[in-house]
Amino acid sequence: MIRLENVTKVYNPRRPDRVEALRGITLDIPLHGVSVLQGPSGSGKSSLLSLVGGMARPTSGRVLLEGREVSRLPERFLTDVRRQTFGFIFQQFHLVRELSARENVLLPLYPLAEGFAAMRRRADELLARFGLTDKAQHKVRWLSGGEQQRVAVARALVNRPRMVIADEPTAHLDSRLSRELLGILHDLAAEGRAVLLATHDPLVADHPMVENRFRLRDGRLVEADG
Ligand SMILES: Nc1ncnc2c1ncn2[C@@H]1O[C@H](COP(=O)(O)OP(=O)(O)OP(=O)(O)O)[C@@H](O)[C@H]1O
């Protein structure tokens, strides 16, 4: 379980462009099943995902991972927690276009902690799982949209995360690729990983696999159901 306790996030606190992106959020997110975060543009969804995934820290309040406060860990430890717990799929995938599919999948593991051979095997298993064996050495810039999507998913899984976090993962996909991605996310949940999605897309939000829905408006939680 990931618990947010009275979390706020203020950007540019001492400037005229100060933004209160999150205002007193208290929330429990299970470490299994698919959870969805909905809300209009600017309501704070991406900010919340960043706090949950340890990519940013709250301005006030606490983030707890299975009872352990992670929001105030020194950077080095927070990085370890992030790498051991979360995999990220970004809206436009954020792949490095000039690197190969395999190199992109390996990126979250740098600097290389284990032996390189073992990690390369792990990357190749994931590429095989998603039908990309033939593309392992191809530069991402030459891959199709669907192939890039699957590289992004493989990259999110390379550290065997307990939770996969995806911010608007279908925003730039047609409905066929969106459905394919939903199938993959469903499989991840079925194999015991938690999936946390921020989305506007009804295809995602209304999907029967979604177990928990949270809704933000103006940085506040307006509704949470199970
Ligand atoms: N790094 C930042 N610096 C300053 N303001 C920011 C920053 N990131 C987000 N904001 C502001 O915080 C508010 C919430 O943004 P956030 O991206 O969390 O919303 P969102 O619900 O994910 O929006 P969208 O659906 O459009 O992606 C917005 O007003 C945004 O402009």
| Ligand 1 and 47: CB distance under 6 A | yes
CB of 33 closer than 6 angstroms to any ligand 1 atom:
no
Pocket test for ligand 1, best of 47, 51, 217 (most atoms within 8 A of CB): 47
pLDDT at position 114 is: 65
Which tens digit of pLDDT belongs to each residue from 115-156? 888 889 999 999 999 999 999 999 999 999 889 999 999 999
Q: Is the peptide bond preceding residue 58 cis, with omega within 30 degrees of 0?
A: no
Q: What is the pLDDT of residue 21?
A: 97
Is residue 137 in contact with ligand 1, taking CB distance under 6 Å?
Answer: no
155 DSSP assignment: H
CATH number where 55 lies: 3.40.50.300
Contact 60, 117 (CB under 8 A): no
- Asked if residue 215 has its Cβ within 6 Å of ligand 1, the reply is no
**Rounded distance from Cα 225 to ligand 1 centre (Å):** 24
Stretches in the chain below the pLDDT threshold 50: 226
The closest-lying atom of ligand 1 relative to the alpha carbon of residue 200 is 25
What pLDDT is stored for residue 136 in this prediction?
97
State the ipTM, two decimals. 0.96
Report d(CA 134, CA 196) in Å as an integer. 30
CB neighbour class for 203 (10 Å; exposed up to 12, middle 13-18, buried from 19): middle
Predicted local confidence at residue 134, as pLDDT? 97
Counting the structural domains of the chain, the total is 1
Please give the residue range of the domain that contains residue 163: 2-225
**What is the Å distance from ligand 1's center to 40 Cα?**
11
> Helix, strand or coil for residue 138?
coil
Task: State in Å: Cα 129 to ligand 1 middle.
Answer: 34
In the prediction, which pLDDT does 110 show? 79
In whole angstroms, what is the distance from residue 212 CA to residue 210 CA? 6
State the closest ligand 1 atom to the C-alpha of 50, by its place in the atom list counted from 1: 18
Written as one string, the DSSP assignment of 84-131 is HHEEEE-TTTT--TTSBHHHHHHGGGTTT-S-HHHHHHHHHHHHHHTT
Q: Is 21 in the pocket of ligand 1 (CB under 6 A)?
A: yes
Q: How far away, in angstroms, is 13 Cα from ligand 1 center?
A: 14
Q: How far is the CA of 46 from the centre of ligand 1 (A)?
A: 7
